Structure 1
Protein backbone atom coordinates (compact mmCIF):
# COMPACT_ATOMS: atom_id res chain seq x y z
CA UNK A 1 0.00 0.00 0.00
CA UNK A 2 1.26 3.45 -0.78
CA UNK A 3 0.72 6.50 1.34
CA UNK A 4 -1.23 9.46 0.04
CA UNK A 5 -0.13 12.98 0.76
CA UNK A 6 -2.46 12.94 3.78
CA UNK A 7 -0.76 9.85 5.18
CA UNK A 8 -3.64 7.42 4.53
CA UNK A 9 -3.03 4.18 2.72
CA UNK A 10 -4.78 3.33 -0.51
CA UNK A 11 -4.53 0.31 -2.82
CA UNK A 12 -2.06 0.60 -5.70
CA UNK A 13 -3.60 1.77 -8.95
CA UNK A 14 -4.31 -0.76 -11.66
CA UNK A 15 -1.85 -0.33 -14.53
CA UNK A 16 -3.31 0.97 -17.76
CA UNK A 17 -3.49 -1.28 -20.81
CA UNK A 18 -0.54 0.57 -22.34
CA UNK A 19 1.59 0.09 -19.23
CA UNK A 20 0.68 -3.58 -19.15
CA UNK A 21 1.53 -3.97 -22.84
CA UNK A 22 4.91 -2.33 -22.26
CA UNK A 23 5.61 -4.58 -19.28
CA UNK A 24 4.73 -7.65 -21.37
CA UNK A 25 7.02 -6.42 -24.14
CA UNK A 26 9.85 -5.83 -21.66
CA UNK A 27 9.47 -9.33 -20.19
CA UNK A 28 9.48 -10.93 -23.64
CA UNK A 29 12.50 -8.90 -24.72
CA UNK A 30 14.42 -9.84 -21.57
CA UNK A 31 13.72 -13.52 -22.26
CA UNK A 32 14.95 -13.31 -25.85
CA UNK A 33 17.98 -11.06 -25.32
CA UNK A 34 20.46 -13.94 -25.39
CA UNK A 35 19.17 -15.21 -28.75
CA UNK A 36 19.73 -11.98 -30.70
CA UNK A 37 21.80 -8.84 -30.33
CA UNK A 38 20.53 -5.83 -28.47
CA UNK A 39 19.86 -3.85 -31.66
CA UNK A 40 17.80 -6.72 -33.08
CA UNK A 41 15.83 -6.92 -29.84
CA UNK A 42 15.24 -3.17 -29.88
CA UNK A 43 14.04 -3.43 -33.46
CA UNK A 44 11.56 -6.20 -32.60
CA UNK A 45 10.37 -4.29 -29.56
CA UNK A 46 9.93 -1.07 -31.52
CA UNK A 47 8.11 -2.87 -34.34
CA UNK A 48 5.75 -4.48 -31.86
CA UNK A 49 5.16 -1.19 -30.04
CA UNK A 50 4.31 0.43 -33.38
CA UNK A 51 2.22 -2.46 -34.69
CA UNK A 52 0.16 -2.83 -31.52
CA UNK A 53 -0.48 0.91 -31.24
CA UNK A 54 1.39 1.18 -27.95
CA UNK A 55 2.84 4.42 -29.30
CA UNK A 56 1.34 6.79 -31.91
CA UNK A 57 1.97 5.89 -35.56
CA UNK A 58 4.65 8.53 -36.22
CA UNK A 59 6.37 7.74 -32.91
CA UNK A 60 6.49 4.07 -33.90
CA UNK A 61 7.82 5.00 -37.33
CA UNK A 62 10.57 7.04 -35.68
CA UNK A 63 11.57 4.22 -33.31
CA UNK A 64 11.77 1.63 -36.08
CA UNK A 65 13.44 3.95 -38.62
CA UNK A 66 15.95 5.23 -36.07
CA UNK A 67 17.20 1.79 -35.03
CA UNK A 68 17.16 0.52 -38.63
CA UNK A 69 19.21 3.49 -39.86
CA UNK A 70 21.77 2.88 -37.11
CA UNK A 71 21.94 -0.83 -37.88
CA UNK A 72 22.09 -0.23 -41.65
CA UNK A 73 24.89 2.31 -41.30
CA UNK A 74 26.92 -0.22 -39.32
CA UNK A 75 26.34 -2.78 -42.10
CA UNK A 76 27.24 -0.45 -45.02
CA UNK A 77 30.85 -1.62 -45.07
CA UNK A 78 29.62 -5.14 -45.86
CA UNK A 79 27.95 -4.00 -49.10
CA UNK A 80 30.28 -4.75 -52.02
CA UNK A 81 29.11 -1.85 -54.20
CA UNK A 82 29.45 0.66 -51.34
CA UNK A 83 32.96 -0.64 -50.57
CA UNK A 84 34.03 -0.45 -54.22
CA UNK A 85 32.73 3.09 -54.69
CA UNK A 86 34.31 4.19 -51.43
CA UNK A 87 37.63 2.76 -52.64
CA UNK A 88 37.29 4.68 -55.91
CA UNK A 89 36.60 7.93 -54.05
CA UNK A 90 39.60 7.41 -51.79
CA UNK A 91 41.84 6.56 -54.76
CA UNK A 92 40.72 9.69 -56.57
CA UNK A 93 41.49 11.76 -53.47
CA UNK A 94 44.93 10.15 -53.05
CA UNK A 95 45.74 10.70 -56.73
CA UNK A 96 44.86 14.38 -56.29
CA UNK A 97 47.26 14.60 -53.32
CA UNK A 98 44.61 15.04 -50.62
CA UNK A 99 45.64 13.78 -47.23
CA UNK A 100 43.32 11.82 -44.94
CA UNK A 101 40.58 14.04 -43.47
CA UNK A 102 41.33 16.94 -45.81
CA UNK A 103 38.92 18.19 -48.45
CA UNK A 104 38.93 20.09 -51.68
CA UNK A 105 38.03 23.73 -51.64
CA UNK A 106 34.52 24.03 -53.14
CA UNK A 107 35.85 25.65 -56.32
CA UNK A 108 38.46 22.86 -56.79
CA UNK A 109 36.18 19.80 -56.57
CA UNK A 110 36.54 17.75 -59.76
CA UNK A 111 33.29 16.96 -61.58
CA UNK A 112 34.27 13.27 -61.79
CA UNK A 113 34.61 13.12 -58.01
CA UNK A 114 31.22 14.82 -57.50
CA UNK A 115 29.57 12.37 -59.91
CA UNK A 116 31.20 9.43 -58.13
CA UNK A 117 30.09 10.82 -54.77
CA UNK A 118 26.48 10.98 -55.99
CA UNK A 119 26.76 7.36 -57.14
CA UNK A 120 28.27 6.38 -53.76
CA UNK A 121 25.46 8.09 -51.83
CA UNK A 122 22.85 6.37 -54.01
CA UNK A 123 24.53 3.01 -53.35
CA UNK A 124 24.45 3.73 -49.60
CA UNK A 125 20.75 4.59 -49.78
CA UNK A 126 20.01 1.43 -51.77
CA UNK A 127 21.93 -0.65 -49.22
CA UNK A 128 19.98 0.97 -46.38
CA UNK A 129 16.70 0.29 -48.19
CA UNK A 130 17.74 -3.35 -48.71
CA UNK A 131 18.47 -3.55 -44.97
CA UNK A 132 14.96 -2.16 -44.27
CA UNK A 133 13.44 -4.79 -46.57
CA UNK A 134 15.40 -7.57 -44.86
CA UNK A 135 13.91 -6.40 -41.57
CA UNK A 136 10.40 -6.65 -43.00
CA UNK A 137 10.00 -2.91 -43.62
CA UNK A 138 9.20 -2.87 -47.35
CA UNK A 139 7.01 0.26 -47.22
CA UNK A 140 9.60 2.15 -45.19
CA UNK A 141 12.28 1.17 -47.72
CA UNK A 142 10.20 2.48 -50.63
CA UNK A 143 9.42 5.77 -48.88
CA UNK A 144 13.09 6.14 -47.92
CA UNK A 145 14.21 5.68 -51.53
CA UNK A 146 11.43 7.41 -53.46
CA UNK A 147 9.95 10.08 -51.18
CA UNK A 148 12.68 11.22 -48.82
CA UNK A 149 10.72 14.35 -47.86
CA UNK A 150 7.82 12.19 -46.59
CA UNK A 151 10.27 9.93 -44.76
CA UNK A 152 11.87 12.92 -43.04
CA UNK A 153 8.48 14.47 -42.15
CA UNK A 154 7.22 11.29 -40.50
CA UNK A 155 10.58 10.64 -38.80
CA UNK A 156 10.66 14.18 -37.42
CA UNK A 157 7.04 14.02 -36.27
CA UNK A 158 7.79 10.81 -34.37
CA UNK A 159 11.04 12.20 -32.98
CA UNK A 160 9.17 15.20 -31.59
CA UNK A 161 6.84 12.83 -29.71
CA UNK A 162 9.83 11.76 -27.63
CA UNK A 163 12.19 14.73 -27.74
CA UNK A 164 10.15 17.86 -28.37
CA UNK A 165 12.06 20.57 -30.19
CA UNK A 166 12.73 20.21 -33.93
CA UNK A 167 16.04 18.87 -35.17
CA UNK A 168 18.51 21.27 -36.68
CA UNK A 169 18.49 21.08 -40.51
CA UNK A 170 22.12 19.93 -40.47
CA UNK A 171 21.09 16.67 -38.76
CA UNK A 172 18.40 15.76 -41.29
CA UNK A 173 19.61 13.71 -44.26
Structure 2
Protein backbone atom coordinates (compact mmCIF):
# COMPACT_ATOMS: atom_id res chain seq x y z
CA UNK A 1 0.00 0.00 0.00
CA UNK A 2 1.31 3.46 -0.90
CA UNK A 3 1.75 6.11 1.76
CA UNK A 4 -1.13 8.14 0.29
CA UNK A 5 -3.65 5.28 0.53
CA UNK A 6 -5.71 4.78 3.64
CA UNK A 7 -7.03 1.66 5.22
CA UNK A 8 -10.77 1.28 5.28
CA UNK A 9 -12.71 -0.58 7.91
CA UNK A 10 -15.16 -2.99 6.35
CA UNK A 11 -18.56 -3.76 7.78
CA UNK A 12 -17.21 -6.98 9.27
CA UNK A 13 -14.38 -5.22 11.10
CA UNK A 14 -11.58 -6.29 8.76
CA UNK A 15 -9.23 -3.67 7.41
CA UNK A 16 -8.38 -3.71 3.75
CA UNK A 17 -6.69 -1.50 1.25
CA UNK A 18 -9.11 0.41 -1.00
CA UNK A 19 -10.07 -1.50 -4.14
CA UNK A 20 -8.08 -4.53 -2.97
CA UNK A 21 -11.09 -6.65 -1.99
CA UNK A 22 -11.04 -10.21 -3.31
CA UNK A 23 -13.92 -10.53 -5.83
CA UNK A 24 -14.58 -14.15 -4.80
CA UNK A 25 -14.76 -13.12 -1.13
CA UNK A 26 -17.10 -10.20 -1.99
CA UNK A 27 -19.31 -12.51 -4.04
CA UNK A 28 -19.50 -14.94 -1.12
CA UNK A 29 -20.45 -12.11 1.27
CA UNK A 30 -23.21 -10.98 -1.10
CA UNK A 31 -24.51 -14.54 -1.46
CA UNK A 32 -24.57 -14.90 2.33
CA UNK A 33 -26.41 -11.58 2.67
CA UNK A 34 -28.95 -12.68 0.04
CA UNK A 35 -29.46 -15.99 1.88
CA UNK A 36 -30.00 -14.22 5.22
CA UNK A 37 -32.44 -11.75 3.65
CA UNK A 38 -34.40 -14.55 1.95
CA UNK A 39 -34.93 -16.13 5.39
CA UNK A 40 -36.61 -12.97 6.74
CA UNK A 41 -40.36 -12.51 6.73
CA UNK A 42 -41.79 -9.41 5.03
CA UNK A 43 -41.66 -7.08 8.04
CA UNK A 44 -38.14 -8.11 9.02
CA UNK A 45 -36.97 -7.74 5.43
CA UNK A 46 -38.50 -4.25 5.24
CA UNK A 47 -36.78 -3.31 8.49
CA UNK A 48 -33.44 -4.64 7.22
CA UNK A 49 -33.86 -2.77 3.93
CA UNK A 50 -34.69 0.43 5.83
CA UNK A 51 -31.52 0.08 7.92
CA UNK A 52 -29.45 -0.62 4.80
CA UNK A 53 -30.98 2.24 2.81
CA UNK A 54 -30.51 4.68 5.68
CA UNK A 55 -26.89 3.63 5.96
CA UNK A 56 -26.37 4.24 2.24
CA UNK A 57 -28.02 7.67 2.57
CA UNK A 58 -26.35 8.71 5.81
CA UNK A 59 -22.83 7.63 4.82
CA UNK A 60 -23.04 9.29 1.41
CA UNK A 61 -22.61 5.97 -0.40
CA UNK A 62 -25.12 7.27 -2.94
CA UNK A 63 -25.98 10.83 -4.04
CA UNK A 64 -28.24 12.78 -1.66
CA UNK A 65 -31.44 12.40 -3.71
CA UNK A 66 -30.68 8.73 -4.40
CA UNK A 67 -30.47 8.17 -0.64
CA UNK A 68 -33.72 10.10 -0.19
CA UNK A 69 -35.39 7.86 -2.80
CA UNK A 70 -34.19 4.64 -1.16
CA UNK A 71 -35.50 5.60 2.28
CA UNK A 72 -38.77 7.08 0.95
CA UNK A 73 -39.37 4.07 -1.26
CA UNK A 74 -39.21 1.52 1.56
CA UNK A 75 -41.04 3.76 4.05
CA UNK A 76 -43.89 4.39 1.60
CA UNK A 77 -44.25 0.65 1.03
CA UNK A 78 -44.28 0.03 4.78
CA UNK A 79 -46.68 2.94 5.40
CA UNK A 80 -49.10 1.74 2.74
CA UNK A 81 -49.19 -1.70 4.37
CA UNK A 82 -50.02 0.01 7.68
CA UNK A 83 -52.76 2.32 6.28
CA UNK A 84 -55.63 -0.06 7.15
CA UNK A 85 -54.55 0.19 10.81
CA UNK A 86 -55.25 3.96 10.86
CA UNK A 87 -58.70 4.56 12.38
CA UNK A 88 -59.49 7.66 10.29
CA UNK A 89 -58.45 5.96 7.03
CA UNK A 90 -60.53 2.89 7.92
CA UNK A 91 -63.61 4.96 8.78
CA UNK A 92 -63.43 7.11 5.64
CA UNK A 93 -62.84 3.98 3.55
CA UNK A 94 -66.02 2.43 4.98
CA UNK A 95 -67.94 5.64 4.27
CA UNK A 96 -66.73 5.60 0.65
CA UNK A 97 -67.77 1.96 0.24
CA UNK A 98 -71.20 2.66 1.74
CA UNK A 99 -71.72 5.64 -0.54
CA UNK A 100 -70.69 3.59 -3.58
CA UNK A 101 -73.18 0.88 -2.60
CA UNK A 102 -75.91 3.48 -2.03
CA UNK A 103 -75.33 4.82 -5.55
CA UNK A 104 -75.38 1.31 -6.99
CA UNK A 105 -71.76 1.29 -8.16
CA UNK A 106 -70.72 -2.34 -8.73
CA UNK A 107 -67.97 -3.51 -6.34
CA UNK A 108 -65.35 -4.03 -9.04
CA UNK A 109 -66.10 -0.80 -10.93
CA UNK A 110 -65.26 2.86 -10.51
CA UNK A 111 -66.79 6.02 -11.85
CA UNK A 112 -65.46 7.47 -15.08
CA UNK A 113 -63.76 10.86 -14.65
CA UNK A 114 -66.36 13.53 -13.95
CA UNK A 115 -69.21 11.05 -13.28
CA UNK A 116 -68.83 10.56 -9.53
CA UNK A 117 -71.30 12.38 -7.28
CA UNK A 118 -69.93 15.58 -5.72
CA UNK A 119 -70.30 14.25 -2.17
CA UNK A 120 -68.28 11.16 -3.13
CA UNK A 121 -65.57 13.39 -4.65
CA UNK A 122 -65.43 15.45 -1.43
CA UNK A 123 -65.26 12.32 0.74
CA UNK A 124 -62.61 10.85 -1.55
CA UNK A 125 -60.48 13.98 -1.05
CA UNK A 126 -60.87 13.62 2.73
CA UNK A 127 -59.81 9.98 2.43
CA UNK A 128 -56.68 10.88 0.41
CA UNK A 129 -55.77 13.59 2.95
CA UNK A 130 -56.19 11.07 5.79
CA UNK A 131 -53.96 8.61 3.92
CA UNK A 132 -51.30 11.30 3.43
CA UNK A 133 -51.47 12.27 7.11
CA UNK A 134 -51.14 8.60 8.12
CA UNK A 135 -48.12 8.19 5.82
CA UNK A 136 -46.51 11.29 7.31
CA UNK A 137 -47.18 10.02 10.84
CA UNK A 138 -45.56 6.73 9.83
CA UNK A 139 -42.49 8.60 8.56
CA UNK A 140 -42.29 10.45 11.88
CA UNK A 141 -42.63 7.22 13.86
CA UNK A 142 -39.52 5.98 12.04
CA UNK A 143 -37.56 9.14 12.82
CA UNK A 144 -38.07 10.90 9.48
CA UNK A 145 -39.83 14.11 10.62
CA UNK A 146 -38.21 16.26 7.92
CA UNK A 147 -39.38 13.82 5.26
CA UNK A 148 -42.90 13.82 6.76
CA UNK A 149 -43.06 17.61 6.68
CA UNK A 150 -41.84 17.72 3.10
CA UNK A 151 -44.41 15.07 2.11
CA UNK A 152 -47.26 17.13 3.57
CA UNK A 153 -46.08 20.71 3.02
CA UNK A 154 -43.89 20.64 -0.10
CA UNK A 155 -45.22 17.84 -2.30
CA UNK A 156 -43.58 19.30 -5.41
CA UNK A 157 -40.17 19.31 -3.68
CA UNK A 158 -40.80 15.80 -2.34
CA UNK A 159 -41.68 14.51 -5.81
CA UNK A 160 -38.67 16.27 -7.35
CA UNK A 161 -36.24 14.66 -4.87
CA UNK A 162 -37.97 11.29 -5.19
CA UNK A 163 -37.76 11.42 -9.00
CA UNK A 164 -34.15 12.65 -9.01
CA UNK A 165 -33.20 9.76 -6.75
CA UNK A 166 -35.26 7.24 -8.69
CA UNK A 167 -33.63 8.40 -11.92
CA UNK A 168 -30.21 7.64 -10.41
CA UNK A 169 -31.23 3.97 -10.23
CA UNK A 170 -33.85 3.50 -12.94
CA UNK A 171 -33.91 6.35 -15.41
CA UNK A 172 -37.45 6.43 -16.80
CA UNK A 173 -40.16 8.58 -15.09
CA UNK A 174 -42.56 6.91 -12.66
CA UNK A 175 -44.98 8.86 -10.50
CA UNK A 176 -47.15 6.80 -8.15
CA UNK A 177 -50.70 8.17 -7.99
CA UNK A 178 -50.43 9.15 -4.32
CA UNK A 179 -47.43 11.38 -5.06
CA UNK A 180 -49.40 13.53 -7.50
| Pairwise TM-score range, normalised by the shorter structure | 0.7 to 0.9
* 1:167 counterpart (154, 170, 174): 174
Note closer, same or farther for the CA distance 1:168–1:68 as it changes in structure 2 (3 Å cut): closer
Note closer, same or farther for the CA distance 1:106–1:162 as it changes in structure 2 (3 Å cut): closer
Task: Between the two structures, name the one with larger relative contact order (CA 8 Å, sep ≥ 6).
Answer: 1
Note closer, same or farther for the CA distance 1:170–1:116 as it changes in structure 2 (3 Å cut): closer
User: 1:133 aligns to what?
Assistant: 140
User: 1:142 aligns to what?
Assistant: 149
* 2:69 counterpart (53, 62, 70): 62
Q: Distance in 2 between matches of 1:166 and 1:122?
A: 24
User: 2:3 aligns to what?
Assistant: none
User: 1:14 aligns to what?
Assistant: 20
TM-score normalized by the length of structure 1: 0.78
Structure 1 unmatched runs, 5+: 1-12
How many residues were matched structurally? 151
Tell me the C-alpha RMSD between the 2 structures.
Answer: 2.6
Matched ranges for 1:57-136 at <5 A: 57-136=64-143
Note closer, same or farther for the CA distance 1:38–1:92 as it changes in structure 2 (3 Å cut): same
Q: Distance in 1 between matches of 2:175 and 2:119?
A: 31
User: 1:9 aligns to what?
Assistant: none
Look up the SS of the partner of 1:37 in the other structure: helix
**TM-superposed deviation, 1:110:** 1.1
Answer whether contact 2:155 2:179 (CA < 8 A) is retained. Answer: no
Look up the SS of the partner of 2:109 in the other structure: coil
> After superposition, what is the alpha-carbon deviation per residue over 1:36-85, rounded to whole angstroms, capped at 9, x for unaligned?
71001100110111001111111000000000000000100000000000
Q: Does 1:151 align with 2:158?
A: yes
Look up the SS of the partner of 1:108 in the other structure: coil
> After superposition, what is the alpha-carbon deviation per residue over 1:114-156, rounded to whole angstroms, capped at 9, x for unaligned?
1100000000000000000011100000000011110000000
Q: Does 1:37 align with 2:50?
A: no
**TM-superposed deviation, 1:167:** 2.6
Q: Distance in 2 between matches of 1:116 and 1:171?
A: 16
